[in-house]
Amino acid sequence: MAELRANDYVTKDYEGFRQLMLDLIPQYAPEWTDTSQSDFGVVLIELLANGLDILSYYQDKNFNESFLATAKTRKAVINLCRMLGYELAHQTPAIHKIEFTKDESFIDDTIIIPKGTKIGTDPKVGAQVVFELLEGDVILPAGVTTATALATHGITVTDNILGTSDGTEFQTFKLMYPDVLKDTLQVVTIENGREVAWERVEDFLSSEQEDRHYTISTNEANEMFVHFGNGLSGRIPTKDTVIKAHYRVGGGTIGNVGLNTINSFVDEEYAGVTFKNIELYIRGEDVEDIEHAKLVAPRHFRNAGRAVTKLDFEDIVMEIEGVSKAKCIETFNENRDLHIYVVPTDFGALTAGLEKKILDKLNKVKLVHDNPILFSTDYTEFTIDLQVITYSNYINSDVTNRVKEAM
């Protein structure tokens, strides 16, 4: 009886597969003596080795996508982070402070610019970036020439019909537009001719049978989905009930336009009024990139959504969009002050808007007696001298530019 040959499971490439099959020829086909490259059998072996090499590549790629540290696709990172209880951060809108000025010829008139008015950058200079006045009406009374208000990047979408309930468990509906600002989402059902609001929750674990709850999720294309319960954990929308959504679309760094560039009405002009953005109140942030998610998801799993130790404070601040780094220093004084130094993603000063967002988050998860105090970081300029040796088949100037970009 012939001795069984041990399989080489390490072989993963073309040359290894080709040689493995050639080595088996004497055992299974001793009459096959011509193993030159021109032999038709060898051609078939090489074709098979090429196919196996391609399959091995996809096998390695799929295997890598199963681990957070090696995953490369956004879809895989999203799914792996969900296993750790972490959702990638959504995009946030930029908010600018706008100064409205009334022309002297209208000094005796009261001009009201209503809430929801759309303003934007000059449409003649590139694609127009649109903002909305969401804080209330802007009023320029008689005798007053200037007023300020906040404008938020994005546009409002109302009465987006998601579909009709079929009465089954765990129904899912897709919103019409991508890049939905999740905190603006309102889901309603039309019952007896009126809108009935539903409440968004993180999950259905605490939902009762009659609770009008829903959850949301996003995919790698930043498309948003609405999920309903099963009738035990979260109510099922009544069969044939129309489901609608109201929300805002926008956000991201595209809204971080330069000062004095927001100067045009979008839908309706108001005579005698000019305006410009004089301050970036809150920076807009893009959806969380997967490299940042790989870094903070294990930290989120570690702190379990509460801030007790100084490491917890650093981890939670790091999760907030707009933060690049954070360092917490305990003072051990009678006020239980915690000094937290924050580096924004733009490596500038800590803005009032970002400070408010961080403190709002910490106040929800910290111990009642802890007193976090935020500080901007002082930056020190320094020079780095690098000696880069390039291969002969590369252009020095191209390599230089790539090194600068990487740094």
From residue 109, alpha-carbon distances to 50, 101, 143 in Å are: 80, 13, 8
User: Hey, how many other C-beta atoms are within 10 angstroms of the C-beta on 76?
Assistant: 19
Collect all residues with Cβ–Cβ distance below 8 Å to 198 and sequence separation of at least 6.
187, 188, 189, 212, 213, 214
Cα 296 to Cα 314: distance, rounded to the nearest angstrom: 10
Q: What is the strand order of the sheet 323-330 is part of?
A: 323-330, 337-344, 371-376
Q: How far is CA 123 from the centre of its chain?
A: 27
First to last CA, the chain: 64
Query: What pLDDT sits at residue 5?
Result: 61
93 CB-contact burial (10 Å; exposed 0-12 / middle 13-18 / buried 19+)? buried
Question: So what's the pLDDT on residue 380?
Answer: 87
- Separation CA 54–CA 75 (nearest Å): 22
- Specify the pTM: 0.72
Give me the pLDDT at residue 390, please: 85
The kind and range of the H/E element at 363 are helix 352-365
pLDDT at 304: 81
CA-to-CA distance for 284 and 143, rounded, in angstroms? 35
How far is residue 174's CA from residue 169's CA, in Å, rounded to a whole number?
16
**Cα-based distances in Å from 85 to 80, 299, 334:** 9, 11, 35
DSSP category for residue 241: -
pLDDT score of 385: 86
Strand partners, 372: 338
Burial 123-147 (b: 16+ CB within 10 A, else e): eeeeeebbbbbbeeebebeeeeeeb
| pLDDT given at position 99 | 95
Closest CA to 305 of 360, 361, 388: 361
pLDDT in tens, the chain (407 residues): 555 666 667 778 899 999 989 988 988 888 988 888 889 999 999 999 999 999 999 998 899 999 998 999 999 999 999 998 888 989 999 999 999 999 998 989 999 999 999 999 999 888 999 999 999 999 999 999 999 999 999 999 999 999 999 999 999 999 999 999 999 999 999 999 899 999 999 999 999 999 999 999 999 999 999 999 999 999 999 999 999 999 999 999 999 999 999 999 998 889 899 999 999 988 898 999 898 899 889 988 888 888 999 999 999 998 887 888 899 999 999 999 999 999 998 888 888 888 998 999 999 999 889 999 999 988 888 888 888 888 888 888 888 888 888 87
